[in-house]
Amino acid sequence: MKKIISLLALCCCAMFIVAAENVKVGAEQTKQYLPLLKGKRVALMSNHTGIVIQGQDTIHTLDLLLKHGVNVTAIFSPEHGFRGTAREGEHVASSVDEKTGIPILSLYDGKSYRPSKEAMATFDVLITDIQDVGLRFYTYYITMFRLMDACAHEGKQFIVFDRPNPNGYYVDGPILDMKHKSGVGALPIPVVHGMTLGELALMINGENWLYDSLQVDLTVIPCKNYTHQTLYRLPVAPSPNLRNMLSIYLYPAVCLFEATPVSLGRGTDKPFLCYGHPNFNAPRTEPSVYGPAITFTPNQSTQKGRICDGVDLSGMTEEEARKVGFSLRYLLDAYKHLNMDNYFFRPFFELLVGQDYVRKMINQGKSEEDIRACWQEDVAKFQEQRRPYLLYEE
C-alpha cells in the first residue's frame, strides 16, 4: 500500500538549482504527519542527523515529536549509534536515552540487525528519519530495508521522513549482482542510485523486494523545494569519517579502497580525502592529475601506524569532486603503482563494487572507459525502472 503526502509544485526545469537553505525536510511537515500518529505508539529510527533547523535553533526529531505530544515508545539506532559517534562496523549496545528515558534499541549490536519480536510489540508505527548519502554501500538504507521488512511481516505502519540526497544528481556504477548481497549491499541498484530514502522505500515496496514479496503499509513525507539537482549541504556530518561535503562527493570514487590494502586516511585529519600505501612507488615530485603527493600515518584500519605515501585530494574544489563522481581513476592509479596484481584485491571488493567483471577487467589491463561501458546499459534500464517512484524533479 502506498500513501504519498502531496508535494508542492516543483520547478518545471530539472536543471534549476534550488537554494538549499529553502529546502524543508520531511520532519518539518508536522501538519502532514501528526494526524497519522494520534493515539499511536511510535518508534523512531534515527541518529544525530535527524534534526530540524528552525531559524537559529536546531531540534532533534525525537524532541520535536515529544513536544507535540507523540507517544514515542522506542528508538532504533543504526551503524555508528544514535549519537553517530561509533566507528564504522563497531558494535553498539542497546541503552536508554538519558534525556527522555526512552529505550534505544541498537540494530548494530553484533547479535541481530533486525528488531526482536519483543521490540516489534512496543509500537504501532515506525518512523525513519536519517540522513543518507545515496550510495549502495552506505548502510543506513539497509537498516531501513530491514525495518520495512519487519514491519511488513508484523503488520506495522511505516513512515519515512524524507531528506535530500547530496549525491542525488546522478546515477552511476554497476548494479549489484544479488549473489554478492551483504551488509554493504542489499538491493539490485547501482553504486550511486540517485534516490532519496523516501523514493527508495517506494521502490522497495513497488518492486516487491521485501522478503516473501510482502508490501509494508508505507507513507512518505517528502521534502519541499527540492529537486535532484539541488546542491544540498548537509547541516551535520552523517558519519564520523564523512566530515564535509568534499568527502561526501568523493566517497563514491574512493570507498572501493576499503577492499584493498590502500589506506584512506582513517585516523588522520583527512579521512576519505587521501589514499596511500607504504609501497606507493609513483613519482611524487609534481602534482598529478589526481592530486599532489602526501605522506601520512593512519591510526585506524588498513596500514595502521605505517608511513604511507600517496595522493592528497583535500585541495580539490567541491565542483571538481562532483565532476569526478563514481570513478575508477584513483583505484586504477593505486593498482598501477603498487604492482600487486590480483593480490591488490580482497574478497570484499565484489561486495562493494557489486559485479565480478570489474576486478577481472582491471587485472586484464582494461581502461576505465572499457570497464564503464559494461554497466551503462544497466544504469539506463535502472533509471527507467525507478522513474515511477521518483518524488522530485530530475
For 155-188, how does the pLDDT look when each residue is reduced to its tens digit (9 = 90+)?
999 999 999 999 999 999 999 999 999 999 999 9
pLDDT at 16: 35
Q: Is 96 helix (H, G, I), strand (E, B) or coil?
A: strand
Q: Are residues 266 and 178 in the same domain?
A: no
Domain match, 192 and 304 both: no
Which DSSP string do the residues of 282-347 spell out, in sequence order? S--SS--SS--EEEE---SSTTTTS-EEEEE-TTS-HHHHHHH-S-SHHHHHHHHHHT-GGGG--T
Instruction: State the Cα–Cα distance between residues 304 and 162, nearest whole angstrom.
Output: 38
Same domain, yes or no: 64 and 155: yes
Do 27 and 139 fall into the same domain? yes
Residue 331 covered by a domain: yes
Say which range, 148-157, 163-172, 241-250, 295-304, has the weakest mean pLDDT: 295-304
Q: Is residue 394 part of a domain?
A: no
* Tally of domains in the chain: 2
Do 108 and 61 sit in the same domain of this protein? yes
pTM here is 0.91
**Is 157 a member of any domain?**
yes
CB 129 within 8 A of CB 61: yes
Q: Domain span at residue 41?
A: 2-236+383-389
Mean pLDDT of 88-113: 76
As a whole number of angstroms, the longest Cα–Cα distance in the chain is: 67
Strand 103-106 to 71-77 pairing: parallel
Residues 103 and 192 in one domain: yes
Backbone dihedral angles phi then psi of residue 168, each to the nearest 5 degrees: -85, 5
